[in-house]
Amino acid sequence: MSEPEGAVPPGLRSEGRATREGGASGRPEASGVRSGEELTGPDRLRAALSGADLVAFAPLAWARLPEFLHVAPAGEFWLDVGTTQRLLGDARSVCAADACVVPLLPRLPAATAAPLAATAGPPDDTAGPPDDTGRPAGADPPGETGELVALPEVTATVTLLQRLADTGGAGLVAELPSLAEVSGLLPGAAREDVEDALTDLGRAGLEAGAQVLCVRGAPGRDVAATVDAIAPLADFYGATALGIDGQSGWAAGDCCPVGVLGRDGRWPELTRGVILTAGDVTEWWTPHDVRALLRERQEAG
């Protein structure tokens, strides 16, 4: 018999893991942090990433965010930054989350199926004459960053991160596509160009106020390779790179344990570190289900 929609079935516990060596030079030390109950969301996330004896919870709540909160769906809702900011705040309250996760490319599944060349707008009439490569003067060559960071959804999500950072209530995690996904968006681009595009996308999130760059995907080398690629950038900004590979999570540099809460609803047994979700909670559960999980966690101590 199939399970009812929104049910939280029993399942296996997910464990965290670490894959890289070395540390981040820009991160604050964990010593001297205040009691976890006294910390703001950003402070709690920062302390958890630094190795303090507390746990920060950062669930992904995005794909069906309006429906999750019983608001009429609005298609690409993230393009309305003000509404999305309010919805994320409400979802954070429902989930008792310490941080908000913001996908920088929320239209990724559709965009990956249709490369940027096929989804681009009309030609720029202001572009100069072609150069010796055949491209208009001043235009980004195929595979370079401008094609990604100039997308309307990226502009919207970066603005959203800036506004959330200004309010200071929640820790901020910017979720990036994997290298393979970026490559699918930029057909024919060299590996170096793909990495440059990913780097500039990550930089936009960090400069908007993200404390974490996160990559999520199926088990395999792609997520790990992407985390390795963005870790130096995150370190330069005093941030952290995290990866979620199926049901396993890890931090670049092994700076803290990372647990993953899956659809089975079994909480990782962490006493310190960061708990992420294997997928999007708005596609798994209702607010009632989430509150039940939170009560279970509290009762378990």
pLDDT tens for each residue of 190-247: 999 999 999 999 999 999 999 999 999 999 899 999 999 999 999 999 999 999 998 8
Q: How far apart are CA 100 and CA 91, in angstroms?
A: 9
Please tell me the predicted confidence (pLDDT) of residue 130: 40
In a domain, 132, yes or no: no
Please tell me the predicted confidence (pLDDT) of residue 107: 76
239 in Cβ contact with 201 (< 8 Å): no
What domain range is 226 assigned to? Answer: 41-114+142-300
In a domain, 234, yes or no: yes
In a domain, 103, yes or no: yes
Residue among 242, 301, 287, 299 at smallest CA distance from 97: 287
228 in Cβ contact with 198 (< 8 Å): no
Please tell me the predicted confidence (pLDDT) of residue 21: 32
* pLDDT one-digit tens code per residue, 129-188: 444 433 334 444 434 446 799 999 999 999 999 999 999 999 999 999 999 999 999 999
Instruction: Say what the pTM is.
Output: 0.80
Please tell me the predicted confidence (pLDDT) of residue 49: 97
What DSSP line would sit under 154-216, residue for residue? HHHHHHHHHHHHHH--SEEEEEE--HHHHHHHSTT--HHHHHHHHHHHHHHHHHTT-SEEEEE
In a domain, 218, yes or no: yes
Please tell me the predicted confidence (pLDDT) of residue 13: 29
Bridge partners of 260? 276
Residue among 148, 158, 218 at smallest CA distance from 182: 148
In a domain, 31, yes or no: no
Pairing state between β 248-251 and 240-245: antiparallel
Q: How far apart are CA 93 and CA 291, in angstroms?
A: 10
- What phi and psi, each to the nearest 5 degrees, are found at residue 161? -60, -40
In a domain, 136, yes or no: no
pLDDT of residue 24 exceeding 60: no
In a domain, 109, yes or no: yes
CATH of the domain at 55: 3.20.20.210
In a domain, 26, yes or no: no
Report how many domains make up the chain: 1
